[in-house]
Every structure is written in C-alpha cells, then in structure tokens.
Amino acid sequence: MDDLSNWYVRRSRRRFWKSTDDADKRAAYDTLYECLRTVAQLMAPLAPFTAEWLYGQLRPGKSVHLTTYPEASGARLDTDLEDRMGLARAVVTATLA
C-alpha cells in the first residue's frame, strides 16, 4: 500500500487531474481501481470489515467475500525494470531528503 499511495498516486497526480478524459487518464484510473480491488480481496481474510468497506466503495452492492481469491498470473517479472525503478525511487528519496 505504501508503494501504491506514495509512488503510484503521487507520481500519477497530473494524470488524474487532467481536464480531458483521454486514454492516459483512463489507464491511470483503471490501474488504481484494479490495485485497490485486488488489495481488498487479499486483505479480506485478515481485515474483513475494512476489506468489505473498501470493496463496497469500488463495487457498490457487491461483497468482497463472494469473490474468487486472486491468483498469480504466472507472468514473468521484469527484473531489469524493477532494478531501474528501484534506482529511480532511491534518487527521488535522496533528492527529497
């Protein structure tokens, strides 16, 4: 959640606040929605009431406890991209310090 709120949302703020409804803005919202929906499903066994509230905000009238638990897609991780993103985050953190 820290990565989502402090990195994705913060870095995508301009995409969310655009006055036009273009494909980039829609992609930003779709990604955030998918992340929050998956987080609600993952946390349901440990924090059922919080997960139910979050999922209810995303899908009114639906219950997180009636959904299928998420499974790993089996997609190969891009370790080079993860390494470059780690470096970028370290540079931004050092700059803000």
pLDDT score recorded for residue 30: 92
Q: Which residues contact 42 (CB under 8 A, 6 or more apart)?
A: 69, 70
- The token pair that represents 94 in the structure block: 């050092």
- The token pair that represents 96 in the structure block: 């803000």
pLDDT tens per residue, range 41-95: 999 999 999 999 999 999 999 999 999 998 877 777 788 988 998 898 899 889 9
- pTM equals 0.75
**For residue 1, what pLDDT band results from cuts at 50, 70 and 90?**
confident
Q: Is the pLDDT of residue 36 over 90?
A: yes
pLDDT score recorded for residue 47: 96
